[in-house]
Structure 1
Amino acid sequence: MSTITTQQVETSYTLAKERYAALGVDTETAMHTLASIPISLHCWQGDDVGGFETPDAVLSGGGIQATGNYPGKARTPDELRADLDKAFSLIPGTHRLNLHAIYGDFGGRRVDRNEIRPEHFSQWINWGKERKLGFDFNPSFFSHPKADDGFTLSSADAGIRQFWIEHALACRKISEAFGKALGTPCVHNIWIPDGYKDLPADRKAPRERLRDALDTILAEKLDAQYVRDAVECKLFGIGSESYVVGSHEFYMGYALTRKTLLCLDTGHFHPTEVVSDKLSAVLTFLDEVLLHVSRGIRWDSDHVIILSDELNALAQELVRGDYLKRVHIGLDFFDASINRVAAWVIGTRNMIKALLLALLEPTATLQEYELDGDFTSRLALLEELKTLPFGAVWDYYCLKHDVPAGYAWLAVVKQYEKDVLSQR
């Protein structure tokens, strides 16, 4: 596999810089801004959302499914951290880690969800401190006997409901510990799988129970410098095809009235809906939004994100709307059919590429054309931008951050697979 040399990267970048400058775009400013945008990598890509509560954990219940059996998945927290280290080393910039509650260091002991505490994540905290990483966190309302009927916080069973309330309360305390220890706010995101496979006779009562449960969970006001609470909507899931309690409308109303973040997952809407169009709508009323970036194919299938039109549109909205300081970007895909470290690298680099493409737009010029009603010039310029030498700027950005440019990162992952993953 041929690799591009430093001289080739620098020569190509010099020419690209001139091309963009002719349109009023400063590539150095774009790269400087890009370096300040953290992406939150999701731990669950590394082991197919299994977690470490029990040996050889497998998913059950809750509308989550990872497909494929590619060898080498992480079996322990240490293996997962090693895989993340390898992925982070191939991704330009300084980023974050997004953990689920089932990924604690439980030492082989059974710790139920409502009993987890910050000490179960002390090794994660130490690892994050050493790498200067911020953390985000998620309660795990799935793969548990008390979620097998598809209901958690909206369950008609008060005991079940209380169990999951206690779990979420524990997760908020863990999130607070992350924020305090790592010096950056932890986004604590609540997603539940609750819903019905077939048509319900009562849509109202579960939503009222969910509202009340969330109010109980969020009653204590935690310092925003440590914790930011978010709620995540969904259109449907496996086993909740006909009715999801936590719909977009429900959580939009909840976020507005309770002043939480709203989480928009790019795979959680109808295939003809796009989250890029929703950003400016919700941010007209909400202070901040959490993004979970995934790629659904016909359903919420959580494929590795590619540099698609919608990913580019999402990044464009963040830049054109000046939302970069108001939107937390996290990833949420899990593919067990390919090398899991490569999946992290491909998806995260694509998210960063999309942001760089958006930052390399002459946004002020485009918006000026629009205000003047010169839609011809707007369209012409947007189309010309598609053939500018973006790849040369991207390679130079990678070079500046000491990660492989172009395709060279794959050889590193292949060697890691040979040396480490194949031995598992």
Structure 2
Amino acid sequence: MMQYESAKAVFADWGVDTEAALAKLAEIPISMHCWQGDDVVGFEQKSGSSGGGIQATGSHPGRARTPDELRADLEFSYGMIPGNHRLNLHACYLDTDQNPDRDEIEYGHFASWVDWAKEQRLGLDFNPTFFAHAKADDNLTLSHPDQGIRDFWIEHGKRSRDIAAQMGAALGSPVVNNIWVPDGYKDTPVDRMASRVRLEQSLDAIRALKHDKAQMLDAVESKLFGIGVEACTVGSHEFYMGYAIRNETLLCLDMGHFHPTENVADKLSSVALSLDEILLHVSRPMRWDSDHVILLDDAILQMAQELVSANLLDRTHIGLDFFDATISRTAAWVIGTRNMQKALLQALLAPWDELKRAESRLDFTTRFMATEEIKDLPYGAVWSEFCARMEVATGKALIADLARYQKKVEARG
């Protein structure tokens, strides 16, 4: 407490109210992704390759093998993360004794997840699963030249939207239903236009039925390239940015789906001028879309700073997207989510009024000096206070808790 009071005074000298920052941080939900818990395997009987560059590496003991195991791991992880959050669920994580194909899924196959989310006071988000299926083995789904295959995936997309809407109605919170497809070509195609026309028509067919935005929000997600689609990705950034603007959907910016040298944070203010809301998938692309657990690094700090500086927090849905099977899966969730929160806290504790005044006067020297000096401010003390108020561990106590849980689950096959 004494450390926090000292830090509070330091930030006050910069004109920053730490109490306001803590209150705001407590309101920001992070949508944690279910697929870190089981290496993107899911709970269905399926055939086909993973497709589109979806690949988890490693075989660390303790992978969740059933919905109940996955929910237990999630409950532990949320207990280590301050605040109230959400779960991002893929359609292949259905919980049922039946074996429906992707074009046969129904809300009832996910009802247990909704019941659990109510008990845990969590929001849900959803994603149709357009990979890991025999009808996706060509790395073509909604843009496939075969109308029958397109129709199969269109039906899957329709049912996913309906499931998401019912989830949102049951939970009283809109579910973001995010569409990503692996469609593309390993070598250079000669007719990109035909593929993109088919993709657009398929998306239009999926979205033909209007849903209440209080229950479900559509989002579309681009990608640069993936394994097997190195030459051309049909759903490129430009394709989906145009589609989202024309159709008033959310645009998903996945930090792993751009060139590693691109600053994804820089895109936020540009797309926000044309879109009401944005979806983020926060990841760490060490090599293209390699989906490493996020660090508290420059890319994450810049993303958080842009969200706060541009007043985009209330228009942005923050989700995570990484899967690392070389380390404890629960530890990956906890550390990754907390790093996103730490980045947001640092952004909320920045003296934006002073920095923006200097920039508006073209006083770049003051801006430069201030942005460097505030790097030394006692953020850690404010974060520790936040965790203490939320009754979650920090430091060595957190490490011990994570290790203890990993020891408990590592006997799983």
1:178 to partner: Cα distance: 1.0
The CA deviation at 1:299 is: 1.5
Query: What is the match of residue 46 of structure 1?
Result: 37
Q: Please give the secondary structure, in 2, of the residue aligned with 1:234.
A: coil
State how far apart, in whole Å, the 2-side matches of 1:177 and 1:328 are.
19
For 1:60, which of 50, 68, 76 is the aligned residue? 50
Residues 113-152 of structure 1: CA distance to partner in whole angstroms, max 9, x if unpaired?
0111000011101100011111000000000000001100
In structure 2, distance between residues paired with 1:117 and 1:364: 50
Kindly provide the amino acid, as one letter, of the partner of residue 337 in structure 1: T
TM-score, scaled to structure 2: 0.98
Deviations 1:281-319 (A, max 9, x none): 000111110000000012110000000101000000000
Aligned to 1:7: none
- Structure 1 residue 59: Cα displacement: 5.5
> Secondary structure of the equivalent of 1:32?
helix
**Residue deviations 1:158-215 (CA, integer Å, cap 9, x gap):** 0000000000001001101110111100000000000001111110101000000000
Q: What is the aligned partner in structure 2 of residue 89 from structure 1?
A: 79
Structure 1 residue 341, shift from structure 2 partner: 0.1
Q: How far apart are 1:413 and its partner, in Å?
A: 1.6
User: Mapping of 1:141-152 within 5 angstroms?
Assistant: 141-152=130-141
Quote how far apart the aligned CAs of 1:407 are: 3.5
Matches within 5 A, 1:257-336: 257-336=246-325
Partner-residue secondary structure (3-state), 2:92: helix
Superposition map of 1:114-133 within 5 A: 114-133=103-122
- For 1:357-372, what aligned pairs fall within 5 Å after superposition? 357-372=346-361
The equivalent residue for 1:3 is: none
C-alpha displacement of 1:54: 2.7
Amino acid at match of 1:265: D
Equivalent pairs counted in the alignment come to 413
Q: Distance in 2 between matches of 1:132 and 1:178?
A: 13
1:143-182 aligned within 5 A: 143-182=132-171
Tell me the alpha carbon deviations over residues 50-81 of structure 1, each in whole angstroms, 9 at most, x when there is no partner.
000039x9963232100000011000000000
Question: CA 1:59–1:147 in structure 2 vs 1: closer, same or farther (change >3 Å)?
Answer: closer
Q: Are the counterparts in 2 of residues 50 and 59 from structure 1 also a CA contact under 8 Å?
A: no
Q: Please give the root-mean-square deviation of Cα atoms over the aligned residues, in Å.
A: 1.1
SS in 2 for 1:231: strand
Residues 128 and 193 from structure 1, CA distance in 2 versus in 1: closer, same or farther, beyond 3 angstroms? Answer: same
- The AA in structure 1 aligned to 2:134 is P
Deviation of residue 111 (structure 1)?
A: 1.2
State the Cα deviation string for residues 328-349 of structure 1 (Å, max 9, x = none).
Answer: 0000000000000000001000
TM-score after normalising by structure 1: 0.96
Q: Which amino acid aligns with 1:115?
A: E
Cα offset, 1:423, TM superposition: 4.4
Q: 1:402 to 1:289 in 2, by over 3 A?
A: same
Partner of 1:4: none
Change (3 A) 1:223 1:82: same
Partner of 1:11: 2
Q: Distance in 1 between matches of 2:283 and 2:275?
A: 22
- In 1, the alpha carbon distance for the partners of 2:245 and 2:211 equals 18
The 2-side partners of 1:415 and 1:310 are apart by 31
1:248 paired with 2:237, answer yes
Structure 1's consecutive aligned runs of 4 or more residues displaced over 2 angstroms after TM superposition are 57-63, 419-424
Correspondence for 1:421: 410
1:202 match: 191
Q: Does 1:28 align with 2:43?
A: no
Query: How far apart are the structure 2 equivalents of 1:189 and 1:407?
Result: 37
